[in-house]
Amino acid sequence: MTALPVDFAQLSVMVVDDNRHMRALICSILRALSIKKLKEVGDGEAALEEITAFQPDILITDWHMEPMDGTTLVKALRHSSVETTRYMPIIMLSGHSDTTRVREARDSGVNDFLTKPVSAKSLLARLITIIENPRPFIKTEHYFGPDRRRHDMGPPHDIAERRSGEAVAAEEAPAELSPEEVLAG
Amino acid sequence: MSETAAQTITPPNPLAKAIPGGGPAKIDPNVLRQAEQAVEDLQGDYPSWAQKDIDSLRAAVEDAQKDPGVLPQAIAEIYKCALDLKGQGGGFGYDLITSIGDLLTKFMEEREAVSTRDFEIICAHVDAMQAVIRQDIKGDGDKIGNQIVDGLSELVLKED
């Protein structure tokens, strides 16, 4: 079968960042990809207010925002009663690059994590990854979100409960990874 | 749910519509070029945007110095401004802003008090970012950039 170009024009994206310059950068990249259905909001609360009406295919969110930060937003979305919202692909952008923070973002339920500063190439690569490789979701007592093992980002905090689960008996990531390895995806 | 009951779910995929015919996909090379051009088109605006963030950063430092009562909020604001500058500089071609912002966020991380010496170190970072924008130093700044980063790193090391 002949490979056809990814048709970004089909997608809608919500960008959540409290810095309008950062939103301008991200939205400019997305518009250049031909994504026309875009919504910008300034924090997690505003995103929750708008998300049902806008129903984005992808959410791109900053971490450090007031009054509601990115990880709180992600957890709220993963607990949504609306199926499309609950399973929404989410990319988190952050100036934080240390392993602990990246794992915290992952454990909140993000699909992918991108360290700022963001380039067109790095954002495009993350979009392609989530478009081409949809990840199954895992539901445990303490976690609901994309399967964290897919990116080999280290053991999730509740790995013990997952070890004993039939569906998650296989691989286990190394205990410690450098930020680069964590982010390598 | 018991510990043994981890459940794997295959959710609906709203992104499949972006892959024509559902088959293998490729990236149109023009797409990346267009996206990179879009970023380049914004680079001319960045110095004025960064100046606003630097002004906010300096104002937060001055607030913290003037009024110990607002120190916790001022420290949070200094950290936030530094994180914004770190996160944006390189995206617009000003990698040295990202490097200095990185040093400052690390210096401010989990800081609850700020000594007179700490203020001097913070101000040195702010002044360095101001110099980068005023002199329009793009990229990593080559030799001057290395000197700035090394000098600031040394200041922080002396503090430790």
Task: Give the CATH number of the domain where residue B136 resides.
Answer: 1.20.120
Note the CATH number of domain A13-137.
3.40.50.2300
In a domain, B136, yes or no: yes
Does residue B113 surpass a pLDDT of 50? Answer: yes
Instruction: Tell me the count of A-B CB pairs closer than 8 A.
Output: 189
Distance of residue A153 Cα from the nearest chain B Cα, in angstroms: 18
pLDDT in tens, A126-183: 999 899 889 999 999 999 999 987 554 444 443 333 333 322 222 333 333 333 344 3
Domain that holds residue B79: 49-159
Domain ranges of chain A: 13-137
- Judging contacts by C-beta atoms under 8 Å, the chain A residues touching residue B86 are 95, 116-117
Q: Is residue B79 part of a domain?
A: yes
Pairwise pLDDT comparison (A127 vs A97), residue with the higher score: A127
B30 Cβ contact partners less than 8 Å away, ≥ 6 residues apart: none
Region label for B114, one of left (φ > 0), alpha (ψ between -120 and 50) or beta (otherwise)? beta
- Name which of A95-104, A124-133, A161-170, B1-10 the model is least confident about: A161-170
Write the residue in A1, A5, A119 that is nearest to B91 by C-beta. Answer: A119
Number of domains observed in the structure of chain B: 1
Cross-chain Cβ contact A95/B34 below 8 Å: no
* Inter-chain touch A161–B3, beta carbons under 8 Å: yes
Residue-level pLDDT at B71: 87
B2 versus A18: which is more confidently predicted?
A18
List the single residue in A with minimal CA-CA distance to B79.
A64
Radius of gyration of chain B (CA): 22
Most confident residue range from A94-98, A177-181, B15-19, B136-140: B136-140
For A33, name the nearest residue in chain B, comparing CA atoms only: B31
Q: Helix B71-89 vs helix A20-32: angle between axes, to the nearest 10 degrees?
A: 20
